[in-house]
Amino acid sequence: MTLLLAPMEGLLDHTLRDILTRVGGIDRCVSEFIRISGTLLPERAFLRVVPELRNGGRTRSGVPVRAQLLGSDPVCLAENAARLAALGPHGIDLNFGCPAKVVNRHGGGAMLLDDPEKVAAIVAAVRRAVPRDMPVSAKMRLGNESDARAVECALAMAGAGADELVVHARTKAQAYRPPAYWERVADIRAAVSIPVVANGEIWNVADALRCRELSGCHALMLGRGMVSDPGLALAIVAASRSQPAGLPADGVPASTSSTAIGWADLHPLVAAFWELVQARQDLAERHRPGRLKQWLNQLRRCHPQAESLYEELRVISDPKRITEHLGEAGRSTRHVSAFAESRQSPIPGCHRVA
């Protein structure tokens, strides 16, 4: 099984990519989108979003990163893709799935799925602009307001030269509300002759195995599930090796035993994340504590200790006090607090770790 780390604007940026790929299990990352709007961007604009380009296009732990572009002008996208390609990413991805209103208002993201011909023009222009040996992929939703043209859009992308499709199994109108319609990804997979990656609503091992079964995809993309449980990819890899034939008749995996990391191993990564955030020159000091709290807020879905730490840090804005507090919390990670012991995982199937 191949596992990709999703782009998540405002959350899963290069700093968190660095930390999550240190854990293991992720085969490739896709960057958050670089917005293309009428101008040829300077190299520094690409490097700001994808600083891994300075490291051979890989995270510090060696995981390749594919850079994502978002826009609606085929010519402008192609020109920027050519400049980006010269910087050495491990491929270029095109965003046809962003549901943000500000993006859609300007004709980008999921809105483009109402116009398969324009989607094809964009993919074809970018494909012509970059070296043949550089992969060009696309990330799409099932549609804008409905999924009626999902297969048509996928065929347009594949026919225009896309090497791979990632399909978020919801429309823009469905946003991030469960469920994800993985069986519709199977329809797309049956229609195209290029690899298809399933994405959406994969929170735990059981979700991953069910998604693989219903979509027929060997490759999955993880987003919020990986942010809230950094050991998820490792757990899925382990489970997939023990579940090679898919799900039993009742649809419940025979085993979803977890190899997810525990809090004692995760806490040093939280501290390392904070160090990286503090070192960022592009992030104002007053905004840095918010980045740490944002991740802790996600982590508390699966880690009770993260919820305890989040509550303790929530009202602290002084970076020095946060650093001191993280150090104190790190020295006590071997002891689970009474608060943590009283908690149960709020998401069904979430890995229970000590």
Q: Buried (b) or exposed (e) across 251-265, using 16+ Cβ within 10 A?
A: eebeebebbbbbbee
In the chain, what is the greatest distance between 2 CA atoms, to the nearest angstrom?
A: 60
Token pair, residue 236, equals: 């899925």
Q: Which of 63, 52, 57, 75 is nearest to 29 (CA)?
A: 63
Q: List the Cα angle 223/127/196 in 5-degree steps.
A: 40
How far is the CA of 284 from the CAs of 112, 132, 155, 297, in angstroms?
34, 40, 44, 20
Q: Are 113 and 153 in contact (CB under 8 A)?
A: yes
CA distance 65 to 91: 8
* 29 belongs to the catalytic site: no
> In terms of C-beta distances under 8 Å and separation of at least 24 residues, what long-range contacts does 308-311 make, across chains too?
308/337, 308/339, 308/340, 309/270
Find tokens 């074809």 and name the residue.
Answer: 124
Q: Are 10 and 33 in contact (CB under 8 A)?
A: no
Q: Are 120 and 152 in contact (CB under 8 A)?
A: no
Say if residue 89 is preceded by a cis peptide, omega within 30 of 0.
no
**CA-derived radius of gyration, the chain:** 20
Residue of 29, 76, 98, 153 marked catalytic: 98
What DSSP string describes 85-125?
A: HTT--S-EEEEE----HHHHHTT-GGGGGG-HHHHHHHHHH
Q: What residues act catalytically?
A: 98
